[in-house]
Amino acid sequence: MIASDRGGSGSARLHVDLGAVPSEVASSDGSETVNGDAEDEARSLAREAERLATAVANAVFEQDEDKIKSTSETGQQWIKTQSQIQRTARFPVLRALSQLAVGNMQNYHACQQLEQKLLDSRANVSQLVERLQTLADVDQRDRQNFEYGAWSKNETI
């Protein structure tokens, strides 16, 4: 789940809950549980994946291109490293979020370029219309001059 929050500083932040962090495991007396080390490692990985995903989501929310690139690259590199260490480790939400953030940014830039090309082509069309109008005006003036010249020659004969 992704939720927006406005902190006391006035800046908006996103909170990403991947639902990946297992519930805390401990006995009532505070001693280690049977699977404590493996569960601690799983919780640690899940928290780190959530932290990285939150950083990517915040960069997207802030529309900060440099942050989007850096946090996405950091997330992808972290996934690659974890996948080499633990072959069964998968972080589909972080992976998808990182890829989507960069893809979205690239699509945004492509749309900006297309918009600029459209504006340029509209400007070119306007210039062409102005030139055509100028040529039409010159042509009409030349025709009038020719007709006037031919008429005035007929008058003198």
Residue 41: band (very low, low, confident or very high) from pLDDT cuts 50, 70, 90: confident
Q: What is the tens place of the pLDDT at every residue in 73-127?
A: 999 999 999 888 887 778 888 888 899 998 999 999 999 999 999 999 999 999 9
Note the pLDDT of residue 22.
Answer: 43
Place of tokens 């020719």: 146
Strands 12-16 and 2-6: antiparallel
Give the Cα separation of 137 and 130 in Å (integer).
Answer: 10
pLDDT of residue 43: 86
The pLDDT-based confidence of 40 (bands split at 50, 70, 90) is confident
SS3 13: strand
Helix (H, G, I), strand (E, B) or coil at 129: helix
pTM of this prediction exceeds 0.85: no
DSSP designation for 33: P
- Residue 145 pLDDT grade (very low, low, confident, very high; cuts 50, 70, 90): confident
- The number of beta carbons lying within 10 Å of the beta carbon of residue 46 is 16
By residue count, the chain amounts to 157
